[in-house]
Amino acid sequence: MKVAIVSESPADEAALRRLIDGVLGLAVDVIPVAIRHDSWPKVRNVLPSIIPAVYYQTDADGLVVVVDCDDSPVHEPQHDPHLPENARCRICDLLHVIARAMQRLKPRPVPRPLQVALGLAVPAIEAWWLAGVRHDVSEASWINARRQGTFAYLRPQLKEWLYGTERPTLEHETATMIRAAERIQRGQLLLLEQLFPLGFGLLASQLRGWTVPEEG
Ligand SMILES: [Zn+2]
């Protein structure tokens, strides 16, 4: 199965691939995405170009998009993307962007659909990689603190806990994320989903709904 992965850094994408493998129960082939997309606004802005590029120029079966929540509202299943009150929700926003891009597509050279799955890392992807290491890092901790107008933790703290430093080198960051993703893939996917039921649960449930082509 061939999958294109769009997130906020190549390190994120290398690690996310392990989670996708784990949820799907197979080893996906990753289709590289050539269009630059290394932050939330860029991912959002280039997605309308990435979708037709992946759809027409590759034989990818799926496209996975994972963005950080930062301090935006956490997407919930009952959100109506059409309501203005959900305009700041990044997943509702991406659902709009994706629907518009998909509407413009014509039949594809390869006879298979392009399936899409979205995930939201709350508040940042480092939080996911801390599952099984720090039990105080979860969507519930984050959301409860935000309701009280405070922060359960900030991104530099998550980096310190994960990497042992707030400023890891790219090599250290990539190796640490991949190690954490492999640990989670081996036996902590359920825990990750329990700790992050909205943002990771969304991704996992969409992936489970994908049709897997018969030949890998
Ligand atoms: Zn939403």
Question: Who contacts 118 (Cβ-Cβ below 8 Å, separation ≥6)?
Answer: 64, 65, 66, 91, 94, 95, 98, 202, 203, 206
CA of 119 to the centre of ligand 1 (A): 11
CA of 62 to the centre of ligand 1 (A): 21
Q: Is residue 66 within a helix (H) or strand (E), and if so which, with residue range? A: strand 62-68
| Mean local confidence (pLDDT), 14-28 | 97
Tell me the whole-structure pTM to 2 decimals. 0.96
In this structure, what DSSP letter does residue 131 have? T
Q: Is residue 120 within a helix (H) or strand (E), and if so which, with residue range? A: strand 115-121
Q: Which amino acid does the sequence have at 145?
A: A
- Dihedral in degrees, nearest 10, Cα atoms 194, 74, 121, 94: 130
pLDDT: which is higher, 63 or 111: 63
Predicted pLDDT of residue 215: 67
Structure tokens at 119: 């995930």
Residue 216 pLDDT level (bands cut at 50, 70, 90) = very low
CA of 72 to the centre of ligand 1 (A): 10
Q: Which amino acid does the sequence have at 26?
A: L
Predicted pLDDT of residue 37: 81
Task: Please name the residue that has the structure tokens 């107008």.
Answer: 149
* Cα–Cα distance for residue pair 74/119, rounded to 1 Å: 11
* 91: helix, strand or coil: helix
Q: Which amino acid does the sequence have at 63?
A: L
* Cα–Cα distance for residue pair 124/166, rounded to 1 Å: 14
